[in-house]
Amino acid sequence: MITINELNEGTAESFVRHLGGVFEHSPWVAQQVWELRPFASAAELHERMMEQVYAASESQVLALLQAHPDLATRMQVTAFSAQEQRGAGLDQLTGEEYEAFASMNAQYVSKFGFPFIMAVTGCTKDDIAQAMRQRMDHDPEREWTQALREIARITRIRLERIVTDRSQE
């Protein structure tokens, strides 16, 4: 853990080293928000980070969405994603379950142009599969908005694991 004060007082390099992975393969969010220091709390830091995402160009946001891995993938994922997916049991799928997720992932990407994104912390594989089936009925604009909501949840949880508002004494 690092304190909000340590982040506020540190260098840009240190800031990005600690926070660059909060947004999947998108260190530009941390790079841009560093200039907005100081932050009163981790919650304020997260708000400013999300503001950077919402203010980004459509192509930049699409790249952020596309940087997320498929859920239940057997490919290499970031440490954050691996921990989150493991917690939801996505690393323990049967062959049949894996094939079902792979098929749903492919259908989702074909329809929306980016992978299915969900804050899976606290969810089961059945919760995730049900949400994926339901969200396939969304129109592209609604799903874009939902994906950004999920990114906000994911990144808030990740920040809570990294940043504390309390001094480490």
Is 113 within a domain?
yes
Domain of 137, CATH number, reads: 1.10.3330.10
Over residues 13-37, the mean pLDDT reads 97
Is 37 within a domain?
yes
Over residues 133-138, the mean pLDDT reads 98
- Express each pLDDT in 114-133 by its tens digit: 999 999 899 999 999 999 99
pTM exceeds 0.85, yes or no: yes
Number of domains in the chain: 1
**Continuous segment of H or E residues that includes residue 166:** none
- Catalytic residue ranges: 68
- Asked whether the predicted pLDDT for residue 168 surpasses 60, the reply is no
Provide the pLDDT for residue 70. 78
Lowest mean pLDDT among 24-33, 84-93, 106-115, 148-157: 84-93
Closest CA to 151 of 91, 70, 27, 68: 68
Is 169 within a domain?
no
Closest CA to 130 of 107, 101, 153: 101
Q: What is the CA radius of gyration of the chain?
A: 17
Contact 89, 124 (CB under 8 A): yes
Closest CA to 117 of 26, 44, 16: 26
